[in-house]
Structure formats: C-alpha cells, structure tokens
Amino acid sequence: MNIALGESGIVLGLLGALAGATTLALGLWRGRPSLLRAGQSYIWLVAGGAVVATFAMQRALITHDFSLAYVASNDSTFTPLVYRVTAMWSALAGSVLLWALVLSGYLVALWARYRKRRDEPFVLWAKLTGYCVAAFFFALMLLASNPFTRVQGAVPTQGPGPDPLLQDRLLVAFHPPMLYMGLVGFTVPFCLAVASLVTGRASQDWLHESRRWALWAWACLTAGLVLGAWWSYQVLGWGGYWSWDPVENSALLPWITATAFLHSAMVQQQRSMLRVWNLSLLTSTFSLTILGTFFTRSGVLESVHSFTNDGGVGPALLAFFAVTVAVSVGLLAWRGDGLRSRGATARAVSREGAFLANNLLFAAFAVVVLIGTVFPLVVEVANGSVITVGGPFFDTMTMPIVLCLLFLMAVAPVLPWRRTSADLLRRRLLWPAAGAAAVLMGAVAAGAYGLWPLVVFALAGFAGTSAARQLVLLVRRSGLRALPGRSGGGMVVHIGVVMVVVAIAASQAYQHQAQLVMRPGQAYTYQGHTLVYRGYRELQSPLASSLVATVELDGHDYYPGIKQFTLSNVGVPNPAVKSTPTQDVYLSLSNVPSRPGASLGLSVYVKPLVIWLWVGGMVLVLGAVLSLAPLARRRRQGGGPPAEAADAVVALDEREEQPAVGARV
C-alpha cells in the first residue's frame, strides 16, 4: 500500500506540474483567459502529490515497512520514533522528497500571495516558472531516485537504521529542514526574476516582492548554517564547527550571493541602479542551490555530509543547472539594454558606492569558495589525480575579503546617498573609530596578540559601534517601535555578524589543544584547568552500547563518551563541553580504557569566545525577523510602502538629519 500510495503521489505531483505549465504556456501564447485560469488550479495537484508521497513515506518508516528499499536501508526496529521520522531526509531519495514537499509549500504560498493579481502576466510567468521547477524534481524522483522502490527478493525483517550521526542528536530534526527552507525558498525570487525579465517589467514592484521572499529564505538558511555548525561542534568530537567541507561550502555559496542581493536591492530602490546586477544575483543564487544539490547528491564529493548517488541523479541535476544558467543568461542578454540605468552614477564616497564595493567583495568571496570547491573535481576529471583544497587556502584567500567587508559594514550605514563631505564623514565616524580603539586596547590588555586577530577585533569594534550608533539614533528618533524594519533589523544583523567574526577569530587564533593520557584519580593541569579522571561506566541498549567516562573539570563532573551503534557497528563521539562567556573547554575521548583501572585517552580543547558564535547566529536570525516583521504587518493591514524615515537606514547625529526620501521596501 505504501509503495502504491507514494508512487501515486509522485505521479500526481508530476502530472499537476506538467499540466499547469503546459496550460499556462498555451494560455499566454494564445491569450486565452480560460486556459490561464485553469492552469493556476493545478497547483493543488502538485501540493497534494507531495503531501501524499510524504505521508506514504512517513507511514512506511514509522510502521517499519521493509518492503521499501529506502526503509530497509534507513530504518530499524530499534530506531526511536523521532529518528524514524527524520530518516526521510537521512538519505538521497528521501531528501529529494523533502525538497519537493518544501517546494510545493512555497509554490502554494506564492499562489496565495498573488491571488488578487493572478491574471497579471508577471504573476503568470512566475507561476509557470514554478511549475517547471516542480516538474523537474518530481520527475527526478520518478525516474532517477524513486524513494518507493520495492526490495528485490525476500523482504528483510531488520534494517541498519539511519546513519549513526543522524540518530544521535535531535538537531537532525531542525538543521536539515531549516537548510531546505532556505535553499528551496530561493526558488520564489528566481521565479519572480524570470517573470520580470520575460515581461520586461523593470519597475520596482518585482524587486520589493523578491526581497521579501529572499529575506525569508536567507533567514532560514542562516539558521540552518548556524545549527549545522553547532551540530558539528556537538557531535563529531574534533573540537571544531566549520572545516570548509565541500558540502558546507555548497550551502554557503547561495548565502553569500543572497546577502549581496539584499544589500544591492537598496541601491535599486533608492537610486534605480544595479537592476541587471540584482537580477543576476537572484538567478545566481538559485543556480547555486542546484549546483550545491548536485555536489551533495551526485556522489562526486567525499564528505561526512554527502549522499551516495544511487542512479542518474547527478547528471540530471547537472543538466538542470546548465539549463537554469543558460536560460538566465539568455534572458539577461535579451533584456539587458532595457534594464540599464540611465544617467545614474555611483560616486565612490557615497552609500551606493559603498554598496557596490560591498557587492564586488561578496562576488569575490563566492568565486574563491566556488573555485576551492570545484578545483579538485576539475583536476580529477583532467588527469585522475585526487587533491584536496583545505582550510589554509580558504582562510588565506577569504581573510582580506572579510576585513574589507567589516570596514564597509562600519562606513556604509553612515554615508548619505549620492555624495558626502569629508567633514560629515568625520563626524559620523568619530564614535565608531573610538569604539575600534577601545576594543583594540581592551584586546591587547586581555593578552591578545598577532596581527590578523587584532585587526579583526579593531574592525569588529568599528563595525559594531557603527551599528549600535545607528540603532541608538533610530530609537531616539522613532522609539522602540522603529526596531522592526529594514533599518533596525539590518543593524541587528550587523551586530550578529560582528559577534560571529570575533568568535571565529578568537577561537581559531588562540585555541589550545592537548592529548592527555589520564590514569584514574590523578590530577592534571592544562591551561589553568584541573582535570581528574574518575572512571567510566558502560551502558547497553538495543540501539547502541555506550562507554561514558567521568572527568572532573575544575570541581565539576563532565561525561565525554563514545556510542557504538549495534546494527551498523559505527562509533559516534559524545564530547562534553564546559561553556562560559570567555571560553569553552571541550573534552572528547581519543582512546577508551582497555579494562577498569587502565588509562584513558582524552583530547582537550580550550577555545576562547566560542559561545558568542552561537549567540551571534541567533542575533543574525533575530535581525532578519525584525526586518520581516513590518512587511508582514503591512500586508495584513493592506498598507502601502512606508516612508524612508520609518524604515530605512537613518544616518543622523545630534546636529543633523538626513531628509526623508520616499522609498518602497
């Protein structure tokens, strides 16, 4: 039953997407309103098919229907219920099903958002594009990665369960779905960008709509990336949170280009500039989500995050990526001349000039990450050699870019549009410069050393003080009610970025690591901390056996361990972390005792300020939510665009006020 129901759902979704796309295309070509109305109703078949297929998969996993090959490979009778549910996205075929489910949800939201404008060509072309994307993913499941394939031969009575790393932390229930909400969410801005190019609609309306959807997807992707870093820190036992893994990079790339779009969108809103650039950023962001999906699901990359390709998924994704790029470039070339700004120029010392430099830096950042990720594949294809591009390359190449971005984060918000004066800039940067000097002196007094970390701390103080100044001026002008909005939310995001950058710089530059061989009862001192190994205990369950050590750290007991999963015979570290505002002490077993009373191998990492990475990540998401809040409120109230005084980056000091200029957000 589950197989028949699931495949019926996939076929239903595919037929709905194909029928909807075909009907809308014919209606637009022939100008037939009846076809246009009929074509929009097929979205319910797409959504219904995704829901039916998801229901069938969840039913099969929860009831241990081992007649499905997917369930037989990713479920067991010992697996707890929550991990049976999350097993749907724990392997290739199920993850594509989750992608289709999230995509159908976004398309339904798109239809609902434009229900009062459903007959406009712009909206119709956006829906047609959405149908085409949905048709690809349903066809991918049906032809290349069917999650409802039947087991060949005898039906097993037991399976290995999900990957052990995916059934050891509840983060598996949050991190992948949040990533999907972000990555798949960029489909809607892509649809709007394509519709804008096809219809030649160069007005601001498409930009406002795209920015709303892109900001939501960006917030979800940010949350997913932070949760992924936290998961890596909590589970893998290596004391780190980011390793420039190719699959990590695949999620980072669209985040970079989406961040660039959210900045340059303001330039188009204020100065009617960067239209081609903004459209290019949106289409690039969507294309990079498809490329990242190819990296993750094609089997071409070796990674703890990647899936093993079980069919033609890789070639299909690569072909779809090529089509997406070709269509985007073709439309941009077709409409490029009509989209170019007439008469508007960006002065070097102006807000639009700073945003342009910001975008160039983000583009360079994306190119560096893309080259470092793709280059090993190119070398392997060219001569069969296997090489690795690791952290040193990425750190060396991206550090100057990050420093320049921090500088622009401080300067751009205080610059007026069009032009500025040296005297005005000096007054507005006085407090940020003082903040940078104070942070630098504080860091040196606290014992910080090294050129690069100190430069990072100084620029972080510069950018953080600049953002705090803007928030203070905004609150003084309009009260706390002004915090929800592009200005307040944007500055909160900047403060979150500063926290994240400082935490990364401190934890990487000043971390200490030791491998201790500890005998029971003997005290060890490391970096001012006292550690005593008190013994261990073994725990047994049908799912796994665990060895848990008791280590006294500064007078309190912590319990690092290793969990050995029975069916897969794979061990998963369970590190213990003492976290304080100033530093983390991270304990991970490197060698288990051979017998009671024997020595224990313990990896000890002392990492300063790591907690501020997680706090900064939460602040980033909070800032995005604040930026979205007034947009949602205005949609409910049916209000028009706000005045810039209420919802734009305000650059004021006690003696001057920038004139308000009408702008849509």
Amino acid at 520: P
> Whole-number mean pLDDT of the chain?
87
pLDDT class of 645 with cuts at 50, 70, 90: very low
- Cβ atoms of 416 and 351 within 8 Å: the answer is yes
132 token code pair: 């085409």
pLDDT of residue 414: 84
What is the DSSP-derived secondary structure letter of residue 558?
E
Counting residues of the chain whose pLDDT is more than 70, the rounded percentage is 90
Whether the pTM exceeds 0.75: the reply is yes
pLDDT of residue 638: 47
Q: Higher-confidence residue: 468 or 596?
A: 468
pLDDT class of 237 with cuts at 50, 70, 90: confident
pLDDT of residue 661: 35
Does residue 646 surpass a pLDDT of 60? no
* R_g (Cα) of the chain, nearest Å: 27
Q: Which of 4-13, 96-105, 259-268 shows the lowest per-residue confidence on average (mean pLDDT)?
A: 259-268
Per-residue DSSP letters for 371-417? HHHHHHHHHHHHH-------HHHHHHHHHHHHHHHHHHHHHGGGSPS
Does residue 392 surpass a pLDDT of 60? yes
Q: Within 13 Å of residue 569, how many CA atoms lie on the same side as its CB? A: 0
Does residue 665 surpass a pLDDT of 70? no
pLDDT of residue 382: 80
* 510-522 mean pLDDT: 92
Cβ neighbors of 491 (< 8 A, separation 6 or more) are 413, 467, 468, 470, 471, 474, 623, 649
d(C-alpha 11, C-alpha 8), whole Å? 5
pLDDT digits (tens, 9 = 90+) for 579-589: 999 999 999 99
Does residue 290 surpass a pLDDT of 80? yes
* 103-121 mean pLDDT: 92
What is the DSSP-derived secondary structure letter of residue 63?
T
467 token code pair: 């953002």
Q: Which of 288-297, 309-318, 409-418 shows the lowest per-residue confidence on average (mean pLDDT)?
A: 309-318
pLDDT digits (tens, 9 = 90+) for 137-177: 999 999 988 999 999 989 999 988 888 888 888 889 999 99
pLDDT class of 651 with cuts at 50, 70, 90: very low
pLDDT of residue 412: 87
Quote the crossing angle between the two packed helices 43-62 and 121-143, to the nearest 10°. Answer: 30
Q: What angle do CA 635, 637, 639 make, to 5 degrees?
A: 75
* 635-649 mean pLDDT: 42
Does residue 572 surpass a pLDDT of 80? yes
pLDDT of residue 341: 59
* 403-414 mean pLDDT: 91
Counting residues of the chain whose pLDDT is more than 90, the rounded percentage is 58
How many Cβ atoms sit within 10 Å of the Cβ of residue 382?
Answer: 8
d(C-alpha 551, C-alpha 319), whole Å? 53
pLDDT of residue 301: 65
**132 Cα distance to chain centroid:** 24
Kind and range of the H or E run holding 87: none
Please identify which residue in the block is written with the tokens 């289409």.
Answer: 283
Does residue 124 surpass a pLDDT of 80? yes
pLDDT of residue 488: 86
* 169-189 mean pLDDT: 93
**Domains, the chain:** 1-161 (1.20.120), 422-509+616-647 (no CATH), 512-611 (no CATH)
- Cβ atoms of 257 and 268 within 8 Å: the answer is no
Cβ neighbors of 353 (< 8 A, separation 6 or more) are 346, 347, 415
Does residue 560 surpass a pLDDT of 60? yes
